[in-house]
Amino acid sequence: MSIKFKSLLLIGLSSFLLLGGCVDKSKGLAEAEAAESTYTLRLAHNQGVEHPVHISLENFGQAIEQKSNDTLEVQVYPTGQLGQERDVVELVQSGVVDFSKVSASALEGFDERYSIFSLPYVFHSKEHFYDVMDNSSAVHEIFNASANQGFIAIGWYDAGNRNIYTVDKKVERPADLNGMKIRVQESSTSINMIKAMGGSPTPMAYGEVYTSLQAEIIDGAENNITALTVNRHGEVAKAHSYTEHQYAPDILIISTKTWNNLSENQKEIVMDSVKETSENHKKLWDETEISEKKAAEEMGVKFYTIDKSEFIESVKPLHEAFKNKSDEFRNYFEDFQSYLK
Ligand code: GCU
């Protein structure tokens, strides 16, 4: 998106959001709470309304409303209607939007510490992933480190593991990716990952992937199971291999401006609501993986279980490069690995 278009979008959006609805930005949050009037918080994300993460975000909003006796209201803007992931992070930074749910990989361009979540095979299993996300002090530190860049992370939602799928070619080994254009998120780690595996990475926003597959601009992509069904990639991509290379979590961020305006009680309400809904979301995700696999098979997608060892080996230099960036990065990496049982 051009800078000029971005500024126009920002100006247009600010006036739209400030003029529309029942928003009273002139009233401080604490004042609004004391007067028991409604203060509206906006949450933007790029998934469709039937996506499990959208459902959990709606639950998050409802939990906040209930716990605050409706003095806080949450309006969810799904389907990328306020922009792609990079755009909505910028809207959060400027305080035009209060919350946004984006992939951890999208945050890497704003704070390099987030690159750890996209490091391929940094998580060895779902149990390891959950344990780190829920308990690691490194995660806690990373989530709070970007406060002076306009946002902090307040929680995460499971977005499953990511696998490579192509229009028609079965990928069993890194060598099969030779000459194949694979869409990745706009994250240097994901770009380097596909390069290390032997393919040609093509970074682009999520909203452009379906048409790019259809137009054969790319040969494949990598994502969780919902991309095939909710985002309909399975209509054009028929060969899915369980590379299980990343567990990139979905991260819920809040604008530092909004956060600083919340009372201690409101902060507690927000944190309790994300914790509760993130936990409930795990079950919802498990159910989704089963139902969406079935739905994708009905669309004609073939699922291949493969030997991942060559993939794991191919990306080891990325782990070394990450650790060698600084002592801080090395400590994060070691902290993640210390949760291995
Ligand atoms: C996942 C993630 C999205 C992200 C997408 C992508 O679906 O939940 O937030 O946009 O991957 O690959 O871009």
Q: How far is the CA of 45 from the centre of ligand 1 (A)?
A: 10
pLDDT of residue 322: 98
Residue closest to 240 by CA, chosen among 230, 255, 254, 229: 229
- Report the pLDDT averaged over residues 199-209: 98
35 has a pLDDT exceeding 80: no
Per DSSP, what are the bridge partners of residue 246? 162
Q: How far apart are CA 245 and CA 124, in angstroms?
A: 9
- Residue 222: pLDDT band with limits 50, 70, 90: very high
pLDDT of residue 212: 98
Give all strands (DSSP E) within 247-301, no chain letters.
250-255
Q: How far is the CA of 215 from the centre of ligand 1 (A)?
A: 20
- Residue 269: pLDDT band with limits 50, 70, 90: very high
pLDDT of residue 39: 85
- Residue 7: pLDDT band with limits 50, 70, 90: very low
The least confident of 7-16, 35-44, 193-202, 287-296 is 7-16
Q: Is the beta carbon of 206 within 6 A of some atom in ligand 1?
A: yes
Q: Which atom number of ligand 1 is nearest to the Cα of residue 101?
A: 9
pLDDT of residue 8: 42
Q: Is the beta carbon of 250 within 6 A of some atom in ligand 1?
A: yes
107 has a pLDDT exceeding 80: yes
38 has a pLDDT exceeding 80: no
- Torsion sign (Cα): 79, 83, 86, 90: negative
Q: What is the pLDDT of residues 150-172, one digit of tens each?
A: 999 999 999 999 999 999 999 99
- Report the pLDDT averaged over residues 136-156: 98
CB 171 within 8 A of CB 247: no
CB 57 within 8 A of CB 22: no
pLDDT of residue 17: 46
Residue closest to 265 by CA, chosen among 33, 28, 26: 33
19 has a pLDDT exceeding 50: no
Q: How far apart are CA 341 and CA 23, in angstroms?
A: 49
Judged by DSSP in three states, 163 sits in strand
pLDDT of residue 321: 98
pLDDT of residue 87: 98
CB 37 within 8 A of CB 71: yes
pLDDT of residue 28: 52
pLDDT of residue 29: 52
Q: Which of 43, 182, 185 best tests ligand 1's pocket when mutated (most atoms within 8 Å of CB)?
A: 185
Distance of alpha carbon 41 from the chain centroid: 20
| Amino acid, res. 317 | P
Residue 198 CB burial class (10 angstroms; 0-12, 13-18, ≥19): middle
Ligand 1 atom 2: residue of nearest CA: 103
Per DSSP, what are the bridge partners of residue 29? none
CB atoms < 10 A from the CB of 25, how many? 13
For 21: left if phi > 0, alpha if psi spans -120 to 50, otherwise beta; the answer is: left
pLDDT of residue 242: 98
60 has a pLDDT exceeding 70: yes
For 98: left if phi > 0, alpha if psi spans -120 to 50, otherwise beta; the answer is: alpha
What is the chain's mean pLDDT, rounded? 92
Q: Is the beta carbon of 228 within 6 A of some atom in ligand 1?
A: no
Residue closest to 151 by CA, chosen among 86, 204, 205: 86
Residue closest to 166 by CA, chosen among 66, 86, 241: 241
Q: Tokens for 52?
A: 């499990």
